[in-house]
Amino acid sequence: MAKAPRAQWTVDVSVTALALAALTVVVGLSVGLVFGVASALLAFVTGALLGGILLVWHSLRTLAGDADVDAALELATSASAPTELDERKRRALRALKDIEQEHAVGKLDDRDFAALDTEYRARAKAVFREMDAELEPYRAKAEALVRVHLEQRHAEGEKSEQAQLHACAACDTTNDADATFCKKCGAKLMMGAGH
């Protein structure tokens, strides 16, 4: 079942926000000159409220998937350009979300939804498998790096524990760093440089 592309009414929020800010200043100053400071303050508060509503509206549309995320924000948050696999994954997941929404509002009956859901889930799984296969050569290298790091931390921990121990001058028994008396002979321990 072919799906018609969804028409989206997009608004450049930054242009709208700048226009709203400019309009608020002009109206606020005009109202202030004609009606006084209290009315000007009311106009500025109204402009700020409308700006807040615009921000919440755009945020909700972005979260719902009805508006595209700002390209500059996507570029800033992504470490590298999306690959062909990333794009296929995004399309498959977006299609799943779209058919779920259309089924929820009654645009798709249960049979069509089940068929499309199965198809797009299979596509998404295939993409995930390809991504896993692409990362497989790096997995062994990453595990080796983690092992080396953990071994170094373990070795440093043992050195640090040994540094915290000190020997009794009377019987040569190793005692904890915070011990005042030897655990074997009871002799008073000499305080090290760290005490």
Give the pLDDT score at 58: 76
For the cut 60, the answer to whether the pLDDT of residue 7 exceeds it is: no
Rounded Cα gap, residues 119 and 140, in angstroms: 33
141-155 pLDDT per residue, tens: 888 888 888 888 877
Please write the tens of the pLDDT for every residue from 87-131: 888 888 898 899 999 989 988 899 999 999 999 999 889 988 988
Distance CA 40, CA 182 (A): 81
Q: Are 188 and 177 in contact (CB under 8 A)?
A: no
**CA dihedral sign of residues 63, 68, 71, 74:** positive
Buried (b) or exposed (e) across 4-27, using 16+ Cβ within 10 A?
eeeeeeeeebeeeeeebeeebeee
Assign residue 36 a region: left if phi > 0, alpha if psi is -120 to 50, beta otherwise? Answer: left
Q: Which residues contact 13 (CB under 8 A, 6 or more apart)?
A: 54, 55, 58
**pLDDT exceeding 70 applies to what percent of the chain?**
77
Residues in the chain: 195
pLDDT of residue 81: 65
What's the pLDDT score for residue 111? 92
Q: Which of 59, 38, 46 is nearest to 20 (CA)?
A: 46
pLDDT digits (tens, 9 = 90+) for 17-75: 778 888 888 888 888 889 888 888 888 888 888 888 888 887 777 777 666 555 555 55
Q: What is the pLDDT of residue 141?
A: 85
Question: What are the C-alpha distances in Å from 193 to residues 126, 166, 170, 173?
Answer: 63, 11, 19, 19
Given a cut of 90, whether residue 12 has pLDDT beyond it is no
| DSSP-assigned beta bridge partners for residue 188 | 181
The continuous run of DSSP H or E covering 14 comes out as helix 13-35
What is the structure's pLDDT at 65?
A: 64
**CA-to-CA distance for 158 and 67, rounded, in angstroms?**
55
The two tokens of residue 181 are 């008396």
Is pLDDT above 60 for 159?
yes
Find tokens 């050195």 and name the residue.
159
Question: Which residue type does 158 have?
Answer: E
* Chain center to CA of 163: 41
Q: Mapping DSSP to helix (H, G, I), strand (E, B) and coil, where does residue 167 land?
A: strand
Tokens of 78: 């992504």
